[in-house]
Amino acid sequence: MWLNFLLLFLFTLSPWVLFSYLPKNNDKFFGIILSFSGAYLFSITLLHILPEIYVNSPNPKVVGAYILLGFFIQLIISFFAKGVEHGHLHHHHSGKILPMSLVVSISIHAFLEGNMLVHPLHAHNAMHDNDSLLVGMILHKIPEAFALLSVLREYKSSKLVRFNIFVMYALLSPLGMIFGNYAYLLDWMTPNVLTIVFAIIAGNFMHISTIIFFESSPRHELRFAASNAKVLGALLAIAFEILI
């Protein structure tokens, strides 16, 4: 668990260092990375997360309702987070004060994501494969972190404030993972409750990944590269499911 905590935190934090070396207008780079990570997350959701939830659920119809609930919860979060949680960039806020709604929304999203990494030995019938999901989470967090940094740079705030916000964001998914593990160990969450939590978060992932996966770049020269990135992301997800 602690290795996963460290990996997730460090990979999420790494864009802070890389960001200073990237040009301000880096839409092409973000677009390709986002397409790859979105396709991987979408594929892992379909290949592993949803089947495991349904197989381990005593009432699949109820679970489907919770997945749908998670989808619409993410829709509300996206409204306040301005699309940052699925890696969208917005460059039209320069000079404004960073809204707390964005910070709170992206924080809730990050904390909920971490709960999906509850150790499979604690979960009911090995609810999900921790390794492939951890890879998917990291691949998703990196472009998400770049997008958040891009938005933070546009707002009027000191570098220290931006860094503190970003470190808090980088810690929230690992903390969500620890909370989920201990909540299960201390019987705060029974296997049935854990299944419901996973179903809601799976709905979150469905919303995020489908938006990214089915989105096309308006720039013709990026469509081919983005399509290749999506195919590669899906193939990598399939390979992880077979090999891990």
Which segment, 28-37, 68-77, 235-244, is predicted with the most confidence on average?
A: 68-77
Tally of structural domains, the chain = 1
> What tens digit of pLDDT does each residue of 7-34 get?
999 998 888 887 766 665 566 767 777 7
Q: Which residues contact 127 (CB under 8 A, 6 or more apart)?
A: 52, 53, 56, 118, 120, 194, 195, 198
Q: With 90 as the cut, is the pLDDT of residue 84 above it?
A: no
Give the chain's mean pLDDT.
Answer: 76
Q: With 90 as the cut, is the pLDDT of residue 121 above it?
A: no
Which of 110, 141, 135, 124 has its CA nearest to residue 196?
124
Which of 101, 102, 64, 99 has its CA nearest to residue 84?
102
> What is the biggest distance separating any 2 CA atoms in the chain, rounded to whole angstroms?
53
* pLDDT band, very low/low/confident/very high, at 99 (cuts 50, 70, 90): low
Mean pLDDT of 23-50: 76
pLDDT given at position 9: 92
Q: Please state the φ and ψ torsions of residue 22, each to the nearest 5 degrees.
A: -95, 145
Return d(Cα 180, Cα 114) in angstroms, integer: 8
Of 81 and 133, more confident: 133
Return d(Cα 49, Cα 240) in angstroms, integer: 13
Q: Which residues contact 156 (CB under 8 A, 6 or more apart)?
A: 95, 96, 97, 98
* Count of CB atoms situated within 10 Å of the CB of 203: 24
Which of 55, 62, 108 has its CA nearest to residue 81?
108
pLDDT given at position 202: 87
pLDDT given at position 141: 80
Q: Residue 47 gets which letter from DSSP?
A: I
For residue 170, the Cα-to-chain-centroid distance in whole angstroms is 12
Point out the least confidently predicted range of 63-72, 110-119, 201-210.
Answer: 110-119
Assigned token pair, 121: 């030995």
| Residues 113-149 as b or e (16 or more Cβ within 10 Å = b) | bbbbbbbbebbbeebbbbebbbbbbbbbbbbbbbbbb
- Residue pair 242/129 in contact (Cβ under 8 Å)? The answer is no
Q: Residue 82 gets which letter from DSSP?
A: T
Of 215 and 126, more confident: 215
Alpha helices in 49-189 (DSSP H): 50-55, 60-81, 100-114, 130-154, 159-185
Point out the least confidently predicted range of 31-35, 95-99, 155-159, 235-239.
Answer: 95-99
Q: What is the value of pTM for the model shown?
A: 0.71
What range does the domain containing 182 cover? 2-243
Q: Residue 128 gets which letter from DSSP?
A: S
Percent of the chain residues past pLDDT 90, beyond the cut: 8
Return d(Cα 88, Cα 92) in angstroms, integer: 13
